[in-house]
Amino acid sequence: MNTIKNQTFCIVDIETTGCGPLRDRIIDIAVIKMKNGKIIGTFQSLLNPHTYIPLSITNITGISQLDVEGAPSFVDIALELDIFLKDSIFVAHNARFDYGFIKNEFKRIDMSFSRPILCTVKLSRYLFPRHRRHNLDAIIERFNITCEARHRAYGDAKATFDFLLHSCKKVGNKKFEEGIKKVMGDRAIPINLDAAKVRSLPETPGVYFFYGKDGEVLYIGKSKNLKTRVMSHFSQDHSVQKEMRISEEIYRVEVEETAGELGALLLESSLIKSMSPLYNRMSRKVKKLVVAKKNIDLNGYIRVSLEHIDIILAQDLPKILGIYKTLTHAKNSLKTISYDHSLCPKLLGLEKGSGACFYTQLQKCEGACVKIEKNLSYNKKVFTAFKNRKIKAWPFHGPIIIDEKKDDASGEAFIVDNWCLVSIIKYLDDGEREEIRADNVFDYDAYKILARYICNSNNKKSIKPLNITEYKSFMYYAGNEELAIIY
């Protein structure tokens, strides 16, 4: 094997306490240094992870807690390992896994680590595309490789070394070298993805979808540049556990282009709620929101009540002082507001019973609960306290249209009224337009997106108030005749 003459390859394998490079640790490491098809050095060691080795790992590897008690820690072998791997190509079967663990072990001791990477799973896929399976067991069987210690670092590293020799002999030096160059050029792309398709992704705004092996949606994201954003997921996965797991599980990427960033933001928010991707946990649909509603009692004081609701109607917005994800969040917020603004906990719904509230004894409530503080004075404090928490007043006299047209006149526009998305208009390349009826209900996440956009002075030119005639016309085109008639 004289391919890529004078290039040094270090074939690496590790065994670990689990699959998370940020949480789990290495317990066994082996490196075989190869040049021109010959082994020129080896490095191997058990490592003390200073953490528990699960029984499932012991069953697979045969490495027990007792085996590693007297072994060195990673910090003890780090300098020697770094020197051993110097000026070489880092080779591993599913290299993303091994490289990610080793990079994070170095990071824990404040050492940087960076090497060019060659993944032999990708190399096997490129050289032998007719085969479906490319894991180490399949390769060992296919090439009749003898592996003396499967699931031990040196045994698996030696099997990977033998694969390189066998595959080079089978396909020839030229094809083998071509495969190495191709695979190393695509090293940031996960092994189960079609690299050519990822490289051909558009550099436009839109939403992207990551799918798993069985077609399940793993993640939905948005960007002004789809290709750059998708690739960024794979370049940082050595240090971010979620990105590492996505890279291991992803099999397909799809995109839906939009005319601009606003369209991408709104589409992403809507799709995450409807499709519930596995790794969008923080953005998934909350079954119910908690709202703080104001009511005026018989004595003219504002009272606040917390309510669970599924949908916020536009006509209810003036009564809503605040919106919260959970009841606990809402109650904690009201307690803080009560203390900071000297508001009565009884009128905020935090205390029950008759008579003065507990805060009157602490002189934090000025007696609104027993009519000592005048209602006008108290109500003014309520409005001040919730000023930055309540929904912003709709800054227009009626509905608006937000245009995100491209230079060629294609693109999208959004009809919005009182923070509710009423209709989406798609301007098609042939000069026609397509109107898509929206829910026309208040969505808190969409509100935050729209509020940021509308309140940004740089977007003024794309916003146009609609008169009644224009609004009716759009509603009829969108199949929203009842709204057109009401208006």
Rounded to whole angstroms, how far apart are CA atoms 218 and 280? 8
Q: Are residues 331 and 380 in the same domain?
A: yes
Last residue of a domain, one of 139, 164, 185: 185
Q: Rounded to an integer, what is the distance from CA 169 to the centroid of its chain?
A: 43
CB 93 within 8 A of CB 50: no
Contacting residues for 107 by C-beta, under 8 A, at least 6 apart: 113, 239
Structure tokens at 236: 């940082």
Residues in the chain: 487
Per residue in 268-308, pLDDT (tens digit) is 998 998 888 988 876 555 557 899 999 999 999 999 999 98
DSSP-derived secondary structure for 361-423: HTT-S-SGGGT-S-HHHHHHHHHHHTTTTSPPPP-SSS-EEEEEE-TTS-EEEEEEETTEEEE
DSSP 30-79: EEEEEETTEEEEEEEEE---SS---HHHHHHH---HHHHTTSPPHHHHHH
Bridge partners of 383?
none
What span, in angstroms and rounded, lies between the C-alpha atoms of 227 and 231?
A: 6
Taking a C-beta distance cutoff of 8 angstroms, is the pair 209, 223 a contact? no
Alpha-carbon 32 to chain mean position = 36
pLDDT band at 325 (very low <50, low <70, confident <90, very high): confident
For tokens 């042939």, the residue is 430
Which amino acid is it at 161? F
| Mean pLDDT of the 190-209 span | 89
Q: Where are the alpha helices (DSSP H) in 202-297?
A: 226-235, 241-249, 261-275
Q: State residue 95's pLDDT score.
A: 92
Strand 411-417 versus strand 289-296 pairing type: unpaired
Amino acid at 206: G
Residue 485 pLDDT more than 60? Answer: no
Q: What is the pLDDT of residue 408?
A: 58
Do 166 and 51 lie in a common domain?
Answer: yes
**Per the domain annotation, does 2 fall within a domain?**
no
Whether residue 303 sits in one domain with residue 176: no
Read off the pLDDT of residues 408-445 as tens digits, 9 standing for 90 and up: 567 888 999 888 888 888 887 766 777 777 777 888 88
For residue 54, tell me if it sits in a domain: yes
Q: Match 């490495």 to its residue by tokens.
A: 63
Query: Is residue 421 included in any domain, yes or no?
Result: yes
Q: Is residue 361 part of a domain?
A: yes
Does any domain span residue 395?
A: no
Q: Residue 353's pLDDT is what?
A: 83
Answer with the one of 330, 353, 385 that is the final residue of a domain: 385
Same domain, 266 and 346: no
Asked, for residue 360, whether it belongs to a domain, the answer is: yes
Assess whether pLDDT exceeds 80 at residue 106. Answer: yes
Could you read off the pLDDT of 347-362 as tens digits, one per residue?
999 998 888 998 888 8
Q: Are strands 252-257 and 206-211 parallel, antiparallel or unpaired?
A: antiparallel
Instruction: Tell me: do 141 and 63 sit in the same domain.
Output: yes
109 shares a domain with 206: no
Q: Which residue, among 134, 136, 95, has the nearest Cα to 12 in the 3D structure?
A: 95
Looking at residue 248, its pLDDT comes to: 84
Domain CATH number, residue 243: 3.40.1440.10
Is the pLDDT reported for residue 385 higher than 80?
Answer: yes
How many domains are there within the chain?
Answer: 4
Whether residue 308 sits in one domain with residue 367: yes
pLDDT at residue 442, rounded to an integer:
84
Q: Are residues 47 and 121 in the same domain?
A: yes
Do 86 and 153 lie in one domain? The reply is yes
Same domain, 266 and 342: no
Please tell me whether residues 20 and 70 are part of one structural domain: yes
CATH number at residue 93: 3.30.420.10
Question: Which of 283, 308, 340 delimits the end of a domain?
Answer: 283
Give the C-alpha separation, 135 to 125, whole Å. Answer: 10
| Shared-domain flag, residues 407 and 366 | no
Does 1 fall in a domain?
no
Is residue 352 a part of any domain in this protein?
yes
Under 8 Å between Cβ of 258 and 412: yes
Mean pLDDT in the chain?
88
Regarding pTM above 0.85, the answer is no
Is residue 204 left, alpha or beta, with left meaning phi > 0 and alpha meaning psi from -120 to 50?
beta
CA distances from 198 to 212, 226, 229 (A): 15, 10, 11
If residue 16 lies in a helix (H) or strand (E), which one and from where to where? strand 8-16
Domain extent, residue 470, equals 400-486
